Amino acid sequence: MNGKPCASSDKAQSWESIDWKTARAYVKKLQMRIVKAQKESRYSKVKSLQWLLTHSFYAKALAVKRVTENSGKHTSGVDHELWLTSQAKFKAIFRLNRRGYAPQPLRRIYIPKKNGKMRPLSIPTMTDRAMQTLYKFALEPIAETYADPNSYGFRIGRSTHDAIEQCFTDLNKGKSPEWILEGDIKGCFDHISHEWLLENIPMDTQILEKWLKCGFVETHRLFPTEEGTPQGGTISPILMNMTLDGLERLLHERLPDRKVNGKKHFTKMNFVRYADDFIITGESPEFLKQKVLPIVREFLKERGLQLSEEKTLVTHISDGFDFLGKNIRKYNGKLLIKPSKTSMKAFLSKVRDIIKSNKSTKQETLIRKLNPVIRGWVNSQRYVVSSVMFGRVDYEIYKCLWQWAKRRHDKKKGGRWVAKKYFHHIGNRQWTFAAPVETKAGVKTFARLEYATDTKIIRFKKIVAEANPFDEYWAEYFEEREGEKMLHSTKGRDKLLVMWRKQNRCCPVCGDLITSETGFRVHTPAGTNTRKIMVHPDCHKRLHSLNYPFEPGSRNGSF
């Protein structure tokens, strides 16, 4: 990095020639400078750095890359435009200009919620998504600097596991609080005050106002947007987080520990938030209802929000409560966190639907469809008390698969014949649902179903509350933490970790970081003397679909 103030278009003449490593380093350096200036209260410097970032070629290129490589890349806005080719992506970079920018209305669709109701989702155009991502790069460092310590939703390096571990820390001791306020904000994204956002969000207010007031199209009609931030926009989660940040600090300021008869009296108040769901612990139900709730309501009202009365409850820890797919409860004074029954029921329902909708599918194909679903749910529950639940899940899946196998043959085929055909003795498991397959090298092996009980239960290491991914002071901490996550995701396979570190934690194909969240695949390039490489799952598909003879060490690994 040469430290020049702006990266111009002469850095690259095509999408394939963009140096993504330099682009990421340029943007990250500016974000770190924003954090440093913000901590030093040099607000004019912050604004100038934000302007520099949102007008740089590299930041615009990364914004386009981000919106064209995520799961929504095939979903268009009202203009039905998609950027699927390299030429379209490169041209899009030069369309991300502040001057003359006017966002188009959002395309409104509805997706089902867990309670059976429908959630409105507003889809911006590709150009508007890229512009929001561009300004998100400049806003995110400030949001992280001022975020509540125990806010874990939509933040880099934080997850539901951190929130659950914080709940355990707050509630597991003998003297821990026994009463919990379960808070849920009614239509949080849809009702945030535009006036509050324009007055308090430290970004270009003209651009922000255009996004907030652009309206949405439904049934070929244009509707105005008088409140809320669109649920579907890339910058909306940050706006929501910044709207709710400050509640934890306000509670501690208004309700500090105090002295009673010369002795220190603890309010036992703790706060944990994930997106718009939060819990607040307290010493008694009266404390939570009469002192905490009024402060929360006042804080939300100023921002145009209110609590959902049907979902906001005060619960005793011995009765337990569900939070982020987990059930948190004390049994005879011992705190246990387990997968919630609702989460397990939804997971098994999804597995059954896959099995029932693939009655005539080959066994190997069914296994490959089931494994990612099983793996995803198990990995989200492996950090809590899940052993008994994992055994129950394996049994329920086995029953469904047994019916699937029996249904495929007439009654003349007995149970032993069916068992021998579809279930095999592999390792220590006698009944493994597996299909014999032959590799490209001619080696016979099995495509095996993943079992929940084969996953080791481990303790999750919570992130340090003050850690900021854009602060240079915490850079080494986040690298070590990501290494630990990859260790768990690779199930202790040391060779994969060595491969990951040799590649500087990056995918040789697209140049982006490989993390436990992105996932990975091991690719063997064409040729007998080439070494294996670790790539993103999407990049792996591209390599095979294009039959691309990738050579490790080629420039950025870009197509």
Give the CATH number, domain containing residue 281.
3.30.70.270
233 and 315 assigned to the same domain? yes
Q: Does residue 218 sit within a domain?
A: no
d(CA 226, CA 229): 10
d(CA 432, CA 367): 11
Q: How far is the first Cα of the chain from the last one, in angstroms, to the nearest whole number?
A: 23
269 and 326 assigned to the same domain? yes
Q: Does residue 461 sit within a domain?
A: no
231 and 289 assigned to the same domain? yes
252 and 351 assigned to the same domain? no
Phi–psi pair at 444, nearest 5 degrees: -85, 130
367 and 442 assigned to the same domain? yes
Q: Which domain holds residue 329?
A: 147-192+227-338
Q: Does residue 1 sit within a domain?
A: no
385 and 511 assigned to the same domain? no
Strands 277-282 and 118-123: unpaired
- Exposure pattern of 438-456 as b/e (b: 16+ CB <10 Å)? eeeeeeeeebbbbbbbebe
Per-residue tens of pLDDT for the chain, all 559 residues: 444 444 444 568 899 899 888 999 999 999 999 999 999 999 999 999 999 999 999 999 999 999 998 888 889 999 999 999 999 999 999 999 999 999 999 999 888 877 677 888 889 999 999 999 999 999 999 999 999 999 999 999 999 999 999 999 999 998 999 999 999 899 889 899 999 999 999 999 999 999 999 999 988 899 998 988 888 889 999 999 999 999 999 999 999 876 555 565 568 899 999 999 999 999 999 999 999 999 999 999 999 999 988 889 999 999 999 999 999 999 999 999 999 999 999 999 999 999 999 999 999 999 999 999 999 999 899 999 999 999 999 999 999 999 999 999 888 788 899 999 999 998 888 899 999 887 766 678 889 999 999 988 988 999 999 999 999 999 889 888 887 777 676 655 667 778 888 888 888 888 788 887 777 888 877 654 567 888 888 788 777 765 544 544 443 433 2
Q: Does residue 245 sit within a domain?
A: yes
Q: Which of 127, 142, 157 delimits the end of a domain?
A: 142
CA distances from 554 to 108, 508, 511, 542 (A): 43, 8, 11, 16
**Helix 43-54 vs helix 20-39: crossing angle, to nearest 10:** 160
Q: Encoding tokens for residue 287? A: 């404390």
Q: Does residue 177 sit within a domain?
A: yes
Give me the number of domains the chain comprises: 4
On whether the CB atoms of residues 536 and 510 are closer than 8 A, the answer is yes
